[in-house]
Structure 1
Amino acid sequence: MDIIGFLKSQFLCHLFISYVFIGTGLIINLIQLFTLPLWPLNKQLYRKINCRLAYCVSSQLVMLLEWWSGTDCTLYTDLTNYSKYGKENAIVILNHNFEIDFLCGWNFCERFGLLGSSKVLAKKELSYVPVIGWMWYFLEIVFCKRKWEEDRKTVVQGLQNLRDYPEHFWFLIHCEGTRFTEKKHEISMQVAEAKGLPKLKYHLLPRTKGFAVTVQSLRNVSKKFYTEGRRSMSAVYDSTLNFRNNENPTLLGVLNGKKYHADLYVRRIPLEEIPEDDQECAQWLHKLYQEKDSFQEEYYKTGTYPGTAIVPARRPWTLLNWLFWASLLSYPLCKGLANMISSGSYLTLTVFALLMVIVSVGVRRMIGVTEIDRGSTYGNNENKKKQP
Structure 2
Amino acid sequence: MGLLKLLKSQFLCHLLICYVFLVSGIIINLLQIGTSPLWLVSKQLARRINIRLGYCISSQMVAALDWWSGTECTLYTDPKTSPLYGKENAIVVLNHSYDIDFLCGWAFCDRFRVLGSSKVLAKHELSYVPVIGWMWYFLEIVFCKRKWEEDRRTVAQSLQNLRDYPENYWFLLFCEGTRFTPKKHQISMQVAESKGLPKLKYHLLPRTKGFWVTVQNLRGTAAAVYDSTLNFRNNEVPTLLGVLNGKKYHADLYVRRIPLESVPEDEAECSSWLHKLYQEKDSFQQHYAQTERFPGPAVSSPRRPWPLINWLFWACLLLYPLGLLLAQLTTSGSMLAISVAVALCSAVSLGVRWMIGQTEIDRGSNYGINIQPSLKWTT
Equivalent-residue separation in structure 1 for 2:160 and 2:373 (angstroms): 35
Written as runs of structure 1 = structure 2, the 5 A alignment for 1:252-291 is 252-291=241-280
Equivalent-residue separation in structure 2 for 1:310 and 1:49 (angstroms): 32
User: How far off is 1:354 after superposition?
Assistant: 1.4
| TM-score where L is the length of structure 1 | 0.95
Corresponding residue to 1:347 among 336, 343, 364 = 336
Deviates most, 157-166 or 306-315: 306-315
| Aligned residue in 1 for 2:138 | 138
CA contact 2:178–2:368 (8 Å) conserved in 1: no
Q: What's the CA shift string for 1:226-280, capped at 9, x where partnerless?
A: xxxxxx2100000000001111111111100000000000000000000000000
User: What's the secondary structure of 2:223's corresponding residue?
Assistant: strand
CA contact 2:287–2:295 (8 Å) conserved in 1: no
> When the two structures are aligned, how many residues end up with a matched partner?
374
| Aligned residue in 2 for 1:313 | 302
| Aligned residue in 2 for 1:235 | 224
Does 2:365 align with 1:380?
A: no
| Aligned residue in 2 for 1:189 | 189
AA partner of residue 293 (structure 1): D
Written as runs of structure 1 = structure 2, the 5 A alignment for 1:51-66 is 51-66=51-66
User: How far off is 1:311 after superposition?
Assistant: 2.9
User: How far off is 1:33 after superposition?
Assistant: 0.5
Does 2:322 align with 1:333?
A: yes
User: What's the secondary structure of 1:37's corresponding residue?
Assistant: helix
Equivalent-residue separation in structure 2 for 1:61 and 1:303 (angstroms): 27
Does 2:125 align with 1:114?
A: no
Equivalent-residue separation in structure 2 for 1:329 and 1:380 (angstroms): 43
CA contact 1:122–1:141 (8 Å) conserved in 2: yes
User: What's the secondary structure of 2:90's corresponding residue?
Assistant: strand
| Percent identity over paired residues | 71
CA contact 1:32–1:50 (8 Å) conserved in 2: yes
Equivalent-residue separation in structure 2 for 1:53 and 1:148 (angstroms): 32
| Aligned residue in 1 for 2:84 | 84
Equivalent-residue separation in structure 2 for 1:157 and 1:383 (angstroms): 25
User: What's the secondary structure of 2:81's corresponding residue?
Assistant: helix
Q: Which runs of 5+ in 1 are unaligned?
A: 221-231
| Aligned residue in 1 for 2:161 | 161
Corresponding residue to 1:301 among 285, 290, 298 = 290
Equivalent-residue separation in structure 1 for 2:249 and 2:368 (angstroms): 31
Does 2:350 align with 1:369?
A: no
Does 2:189 align with 1:200?
A: no
Q: Which runs of 5+ in 2 are unaligned?
A: 375-379
| TM-score where L is the length of structure 2 | 0.97
Pairwise CA RMSD:
1.2
AA partner of residue 316 (structure 2): S
User: What's the secondary structure of 1:376's corresponding residue?
Assistant: coil
